[in-house]
Amino acid sequence: VSMISTRGKDSNSFCKEIDDYAVKILEGLAIADDFFADIYCVDPGDDWWIPETWVKANPFLCSDPDGLENLRDDARTAKDMQGQTLRDFVVKTLNLWTINEDTQYIAKDALAACACEEDLADYAGARCWAGLDLSSGGDLTTIHLEIETDRKDISHNWSHSFMPRGRLDEHIKSDIAPYDVWESQGLITATGGTGDFKNDYKFIVKTLREALDRYDLKLQGIGIDNHNADGVLADLEDFGVPVIVITQSAKSLNDATVEVQLDIKSGNYRYNKKSELMAWSFANAAVVGNSFGEIKVDKEVGKRTRRIDAVDAAIDARACKLRLAKEEKPIDAEEHVNRYMEAMGWK
């Protein structure tokens, strides 16, 4: 098997995995006698705008006067125009990975820094909040638990996904995702038989209950995507906790979306390091906003099959937690009156 490619902007791809592995081999951090790696790229700290840098990624092109002049023109245009033109120059000419930080929800390295050894068993008896993202039929469905730890600013997070058995092979190909491997690792459950093409919501609710009972977790509330919620609400109400239907809009999700993002950046959003499906989903998520500056997550443009269901479930769990905390906080009428008087200049 061989692969010849420039780098790109998709950090959650097979190409990036192979590139990372190749770099480890070249740096002596991994050994693979049957793996040949040859990478032509610029080095960190290089001046992007001089021929002495371009030759590292383009030795053949720079040996030709016309080729070198073309690179000079490309560099001048990229430097002047910036934006997408600059990103194309960085990828195609300098052979570097580039990420659009304006739309990226979570940096892969920041999420990886939150991975830990702990799992549900380490938080037996703790309080938790659940998030549930339901698919419209045969796609990925995910339940998420955000678990309280001894430190109020740190949460532990557990995720489990489901897909109809009849859809599994189809989605392995369409999503370019190893769902069969994740199934063997216990990260996803294929429900039903090969002739089943819709998710069994009762089975999913049963799995949630079993996880709570097994570890004596104290469920405080359930946040659920308002889409496709009708068929499962009655079953969720049997848990005896508030069920919060979360409208999937930037206005409704902004606070939870921002909080989860900041927690990951600060290393406070812990999860078991084996949770590859959840990490893959976070890496797929992009940020979209409204005219008021409020944000939510969505798939990257043109990446319809890059699932973000685990992220949606995680944010629904946080939105539920925030909503319940707000409802529990007593209203201080005097404080509100004082704030109003100060704003009006009467105090």
Asked if pLDDT for residue 171 goes beyond 80, the answer is: yes
Q: What is the pTM of this model?
A: 0.74
pLDDT at 135 > cutoff 90: no
User: Residue 335: what pLDDT?
Assistant: 65
User: Which pLDDT score is estimated for 158?
Assistant: 98
At residue 269, the pLDDT reads: 98
Whether 183 and 51 map to the same domain: the answer is no
100 band by pLDDT with thresholds 50, 70 and 90: low
Q: Of the spans 82-86, 109-113, 334-338, which averages the highest pLDDT? A: 109-113
Q: Residues 156, 32: one domain?
A: no
Q: Is 103 exposed, middle or buried (0-12, 13-18, 19+ CB in 10 A)?
A: middle
Give the pLDDT band of residue 213 (cuts 50, 70, 90). Answer: very high
Is residue 323 situated within a structural domain? yes
Report the relative pairing of strands 218-225 and 243-246 from DSSP bridges.
parallel
In this structure, the answer to whether residues 138 and 221 fall within a common structural domain is yes
User: Does the residue 344 lie in any domain?
Assistant: no
**45 phi-psi bin (left φ>0, alpha ψ -120 to 50, beta other):** left
Of 58-67, 200-209, 223-232, minimum mean pLDDT range: 223-232
**Residues in contact with 124: Cβ distance below 8 Å, sequence separation at least 6, in sequence order:** 215, 216, 217
Q: For residue 247, give its domain range.
A: 108-328
pLDDT above 80 (res 22): yes
Sorting pLDDT into bands at 50, 70 and 90, what band is 108? Answer: confident
More confident residue, 175 or 137: 175
43 and 83 fall within a common domain = yes
* Domain membership flag for residue 337: no
Q: pLDDT higher for 124 or 29?
A: 124
Look at 117-126, 127-136, 273-282, 329-338 and tell me which has the smallest mean pLDDT: 329-338
> Looking at residue 297, which CATH number applies to its domain?
3.30.420.280
One domain for residues 191 and 72:
no
pLDDT in the model for residue 346: 66
Answer whether residue 153 shows pLDDT above 80.
yes
Each residue of 28-59: pLDDT tens digit?
777 788 888 889 999 988 999 999 999 999 99
209 and 150 belong to one structural domain: yes
Task: State residue 226's pLDDT score.
Answer: 83
* Averaged pLDDT score across all residues of the chain: 88
In this structure, are 222 and 287 located in the same domain? Answer: yes
Whether the Cβ atoms of residue 148 and residue 127 lie closer than 8 Å to each other: yes
271-314 pLDDT per residue, tens: 999 999 999 999 889 899 998 889 999 986 555 667 999 999 99
What are the residues facing 161 on neighbouring strands?
142, 188
Same domain, 124 and 272: yes
What integer is the mean pLDDT of 161-165? 94
Looking at residue 110, its amino acid is A
Are 131 and 277 part of one and the same domain?
yes
Whether 87 and 222 share a structural domain? no
| Contacts of 52 by beta carbon, 8 Å cutoff, 6+ apart | none
The answer on 248 and 218 residing in a single domain is yes
41 and 167 assigned to the same domain: no
